[in-house]
Amino acid sequence: MGILQDRIYAHSPIRLQNWLVSLYGIKLYRERYGQYYEQELERLRRAPNEASPDAKLNHLNQFLQFCNQHNVYYQRLFKKHGITLPLKSLEDFKRIPPLEKETLRTDETIFSNLHAPIIGMTGGTTGKSIQVRFTEYDYQMRMAHLDFFKEQHGFRRGMKRASFTGRMICPGNQKNAVYWRYNAPMKQMLYSVVHSNPTTIPYYIDSLNEFQPAALDGSPSDMIEIAKYLKTHQKTLSFRPVALFPTSETLTPSGRLLLEEMFQAPVYDQYASSEGAPIVTECECGKMHLRPEMGIIETDAFGEALVTSFTTHGTPLIRYRIGDRMTLSEAMCPCGRQDTIIESIDGRQMNYVETPEGYKVFEGDLTAAVGVLPNSIIQIQVLQHKIDEIEMLYVKDEARFEPEHEVALQKEVERLFTSRMKVLLRDVKSIKKEKNGKVRVVKRLYT
């Protein structure tokens, strides 16, 4: 929305705001659900586990040839590095230099010369605004894969869902305790994570009980806060969703356990990005899968992910250094799918603690430290106040946490550092969210 539209929305009554949200929902509905969506969803339903050995290379070559025909940036790049298409093997693919964020942000030749009307924006933890463009084909293919993922776990389009969003859907100074707006075309109740706090959570619970959603998605932090409130006050919900689909944040095993306990529903994770990274989804066996028609994910020597997404024709991502760290697996999943398995998504590459010795301890290593405990820590945040001092804030599960657990956690975190790093632990009731409503796991506060 533009500035004028934002002002009109902010000063409108809630009933009119719901109408405006639904009007925008009609626009999204038309973009997401068309012929490409229907064709891909039907194909996935017919052959959900199909993945031939050559599928990855075939999809890659189709995408690279498109880029060579329609994208000036890649035409120059392929010519400069002697890239001959089609590629004979995936090893040849590694000759293409990685795409850096600064290039994506500043080089307008990265946009393809075809109609790509859907604009995506991301700022990420770097604070750099990046704009990307998607074709209708890109957008609908992505939606088909996301909806197929949810179908596999019991949720179908047309069922009611509750979405926890960081978008400013409610004015900051509103007096009514109505921290949600309704998107009627998609049967979606949008809950503001910006307004969620211990004082307002009872209103959220009342709204959820009245709305009775079949699924919840979005920010897991706020779902966890609701689950904590329910458990602390010995309350239960009057509905039982088929599943929860968290996005955008790291979910600890204990956070997942609490959600499943209090919502009485399984949790299935997913990974994507505003830039258009290939979609990775969790199967019934708890493994994260990347389908060959979605793209390719590689990791470098430091575990940093290079993503190639086949649903980015408007702004092609080829070996894009997205800033996340991942661990890939060669193992076969018990579910029978032959897709690439992402063993773990270890957090943002730029989210790390810097040590006095000059090495880095990344977000994924710090969250993994909680694994020594029997699911008694719900959330953590690490604040680095000095080059030689960190403070780990932790939210405990009152029912499972024992005093000796803090001692064990202290030892596990200290194991990641030398004796020069001072490690402080602090028990907190909740962790403060950023302006976008998300919880940042690692924050370096010194200059």
pLDDT for 356-370, tens place per residue? Answer: 988 778 777 788 788
| Residue 254 to residue 373: CA distance in whole angstroms | 9
pLDDT digits over 216-269, tens only? 999 888 899 899 999 999 999 999 999 999 987 778 888 899 999 999 999 999
Mean pLDDT for 9-22 is: 92
Q: Are 377 and 252 in contact (CB under 8 A)?
A: yes
Q: Are 63 and 316 in contact (CB under 8 A)?
A: yes
Query: Whose CA is closest to 435, among 232, 247, 198, 192?
Result: 192
| Residue 371 to residue 362: CA distance in whole angstroms | 15
Task: Report residue 400's pLDDT band, with 50, 70 and 90 as the boundaries.
Answer: confident
Backbone angles phi, psi at 149, to 5 degrees: -55, -45
Query: Whose CA is closest to 434, among 248, 224, 199, 209?
Result: 248
Lowest mean pLDDT of 173-187, 210-224, 347-361, name the range: 347-361
If one compares 173 and 188, the residue with the highest pLDDT of the two is: 188
Query: Whose CA is closest to 323, among 27, 9, 100?
Result: 100
Q: H/E element holding 102?
A: helix 101-106
pLDDT at res. 122: 67
Query: Whose CA is closest to 272, among 439, 146, 144?
Result: 146
> Strand runs (DSSP E) across 91-187, as ranges?
118-122, 130-134, 161-165, 180-183
Backbone angles phi, psi at 266, to 5 degrees: -75, 155
Place of tokens 């760290």: 325
| Residue 295 to residue 297: CA distance in whole angstroms | 7
| Residue 381 to residue 377: CA distance in whole angstroms | 11
Task: Report residue 287's pLDDT band, with 50, 70 and 90 as the boundaries.
Answer: very high
Q: Are 413 and 423 in contact (CB under 8 A)?
A: yes
Q: What angle do CA 173, 174, 180 make, to 5 degrees?
A: 125
pLDDT at res. 437: 67
pLDDT digits over 419-443, tens only? 899 999 999 998 887 776 677 889 9
Question: Please, where are the H alpha helices in 201-291?
Answer: 201-211, 220-232, 253-263
Bridge partners (DSSP) of residue 305 are 299
Residue 125 has pLDDT above 60, yes or no: no
Q: What angle do CA 97, 101, 106 make, to 5 degrees?
A: 105
The token duo for 408 is 């064990």
Q: Are 255 and 220 in contact (CB under 8 A)?
A: yes
Average pLDDT for the chain: 89
| Residue 312 to residue 290: CA distance in whole angstroms | 16
Residue 3 has pLDDT above 80, yes or no: no
What percent of the chain is modeled with pLDDT above 90? 62
Q: Directed axis angle between helix 136-152 and helix 14-32, to 10°? A: 100
Mean pLDDT for 141-145 is: 97
pLDDT at res. 175: 80
Residue 98 has pLDDT above 60, yes or no: yes
pLDDT at res. 105: 83
| Residue 191 to residue 167: CA distance in whole angstroms | 9
Domains of the chain: 6-278 (3.40.50.12780), 352-444 (3.30.300.30)
Q: Are 38 and 143 in contact (CB under 8 A)?
A: no
Query: Whose CA is closest to 188, among 30, 28, 31?
Result: 28
CA atoms within 13 A on the CB side of 200: 16
Q: Distance between alpha carbon 108 and the CA centroid of its chain, in Å?
A: 26
| Residue 292 to residue 285: CA distance in whole angstroms | 19
**Pairing relationship of beta strands 377-386 and 389-396 according to DSSP bridges:** antiparallel
Mean pLDDT for 55-79 is: 96
What percent of the chain is modeled with pLDDT above 70? 94
Residue 111 has pLDDT above 90, yes or no: yes
| SS3 of residue 272 by DSSP | coil
pLDDT at res. 350: 60
Q: How far from 226 is each of 147, 231, 240, 241, 414, CA to CA, in Å?
A: 25, 9, 14, 14, 32
pLDDT at res. 404: 92
Dihedral sign for Cα 127, 130, 136, 140, please.
negative
The token duo for 81 is 């590095």
Radius of gyration of the chain (CA): 22
pLDDT digits over 17-48, tens only? 999 999 999 999 999 999 999 999 999 999 76
Mean pLDDT for 153-158 is: 96
